[in-house]
Amino acid sequence: MLKIDKISKFFFDGGNSIFFNSKKVEAVKNVSIEINTGDTLGIIGESGSGKSTLAKIIAGIHNPTKGDIIFKGKSLLNLSQRQRNNLIQYVFQDPSNSLNPRKTMMQSLLVPTTYLLGLTKDKAYARIKDILKSVSLPLETLNKYPHELSGGQAQRIAIARSLLSKSPLIVLDEPVSALDVIIQEQILLLLKNLKKEFNLSYIFISHDLAVVENFCNKIAVMFHGEFVEIGNTKKIINEPAHEYTKLLINSVP
């Protein structure tokens, strides 16, 4: 379904100053992986290892410095943002940051529905109502502003928004890290059910090995911008090859 082909991303810090040499940050280095339809690929690694940078490249938020992303045989890099959004959606770690504080949920959901799907307002509203049901939120949520929602409700809205376009692949960047444990469980269960209901594939980013073990069929371990190990979940957990993976497994309480 999706082939990530030798992707690298370099940032240049302080590059605007004539007094300082810009420092090159190699956030992602020569990363390759394939995602098949129905996969839930977990990407795990410590803070700063390049997970979000890679996720944003996959979702089209950043451009890679090198490499290509092939979706069903075609490069994504030549497509418009709108075409890419219809194929791959991105859910941010912190739902309160990803929702516009001055917009009601209705306004936040209507724009992507009319823009991405080209639906009339009436049809868009019907679609939003359906999706709201799928994420188990009551209709009155649509009149609320982000500050009137709990973290779990806000993340349900962010997930709902990612479903509106009917994209077959969703990149979930630490979708439960900002939530407390009980709400985490509920959102993970919701994601599992939605995957079945809509035939989705996921890329699931996390630094929590226990969550990834339970949720993902494949794991890629990221360390200093590189994939140091890729394999199916059982194999990675039972026979870790890389020192960093062993460290991760041993640090699970």
Ligand X SMILES: Nc1ncnc2c1ncn2[C@@H]1O[C@H](COP(=O)(O)OP(=O)(O)OP(=O)(O)O)[C@@H](O)[C@H]1O
Binding interface with Mg ion (CB under 5 A): 52
Neighbours of 122 (CB within 10 A): 8
Q: How far is residue 44's CA from residue 22's CA, in Å, rounded to a whole number?
A: 29
Tokens representing 144 are 């609320």
CA distances from 221 to 12, 72, 94, 105, 247 (A): 25, 24, 22, 36, 12
- What's the length of the chain? 253
Q: How far is the CB of 20 from Mg ion (least distance, A)?
A: 26
Q: How far is the CB of 48 from Mg ion (least distance, A)?
A: 8
Query: Tokens 């194929």 belong to which residue?
Result: 87
Tokens representing 202 are 């996921």
Closer residue to Mg ion (CB): 131 or 172: 172
Angle at CA 38, nearest 5°, toward 36 and 39? 60
Among Mg ion, ligand X, none, the one that 15 touches (CB under a kind-dependent 5 to 8 A) is: none
Q: How far is the CB of 48 from ligand X (least distance, A)?
A: 4
Q: How far is the CB of 55 from Mg ion (least distance, A)?
A: 7
Closer residue to ligand X (CB): 49 or 85: 49
Among Mg ion, ligand X, none, the one that 48 touches (CB under a kind-dependent 5 to 8 A) is: ligand X
Strand ranges (DSSP E) for the chain? 2-13, 23-35, 40-44, 66-71, 74-75, 88-91, 169-173, 201-206, 218-223, 226-232
Q: How far is residue 145's CA from residue 252's CA, in Å, rounded to a whole number?
A: 38
Closer residue to ligand X (CB): 51 or 161: 51
Among ligand X, Mg ion, none, the one that 146 touches (CB under a kind-dependent 5 to 8 A) is: none
Q: How far is the CB of 154 from Mg ion (least distance, A)?
A: 18
Closer residue to Mg ion (CB): 45 or 152: 45
Q: How far is the CB of 124 from Mg ion (least distance, A)?
A: 31
Closer residue to ligand X (CB): 166 or 207: 207
Closer residue to ligand X (CB): 13 or 180: 13
Query: Tokens 């306004």 belong to which residue?
Result: 107
Q: Which residues bind ligand X (CB under 6 A)?
A: 11, 13, 25, 27, 45, 47-53, 207
Residues 189, 111: contact at Cβ < 8 Å?
no
Among ligand X, Mg ion, none, the one that 159 touches (CB under a kind-dependent 5 to 8 A) is: none
